[in-house]
């Protein structure tokens, strides 16, 4: 590479950085706010555990761990055509 090629690459890179900086500073959503923001925090941790909801954990609730068979054939046999 010639020294003029390297100088051209440096010039293009520096102009690109300057244009990018100008575009980013023109966008109002990317500017930092000088006003402090109040963030909600918890008061303290406790070791107590709340009881689970009786509407979710009841005797009539659906048990997701039970195997379900659809169509009367077992899905446990591999390579089955569905006929007994």
Which domain, by its residues, includes 22?
A: 1-27
Q: What is the pLDDT of residue 9?
A: 96
DSSP per-residue letters across 20-35: HHHHHHH-GGGSPPSS
Q: Answer yes or no: is 17 within a domain.
A: yes
Secondary structure string (H, E, C) spanning 55-79: CCCCCCCCCCCCCCCCCCCCCCCCC
**Is 66 within a domain?**
no
Contacts of 69 (CB under 8 A, 6+ apart): 75
Contact 73, 80 (CB under 8 A): yes
Domain-embedded: residue 1: yes
| Whole-number pLDDT of residue 72 | 67
How many domains, in total, are found in the chain? 1
Per-residue pLDDT in tens (0 to 9) along the chain, 84 residues: 788 999 999 999 999 999 999 998 888 887 777 888 888 998 888 888 888 888 878 888 777 788 877 876 655 555 555 555
């Amino acid at each position: 590479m010639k020294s003029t090629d390297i100088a051209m690459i440096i010039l293009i890179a520096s102009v690109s950085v300057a244009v990018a900086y100008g575009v980013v500073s023109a966008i109002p959503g990317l500017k930092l706010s000088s006003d402090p923001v109040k963030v909600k925090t918890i008061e303290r941790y406790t070791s107590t555990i709340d009881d689970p909801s009786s509407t979710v954990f009841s005797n009539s609730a659906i048990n997701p761990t039970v195997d379900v068979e659809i169509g009367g054939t077992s899905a446990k046999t591999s390579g089955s055509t569905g006929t007994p």
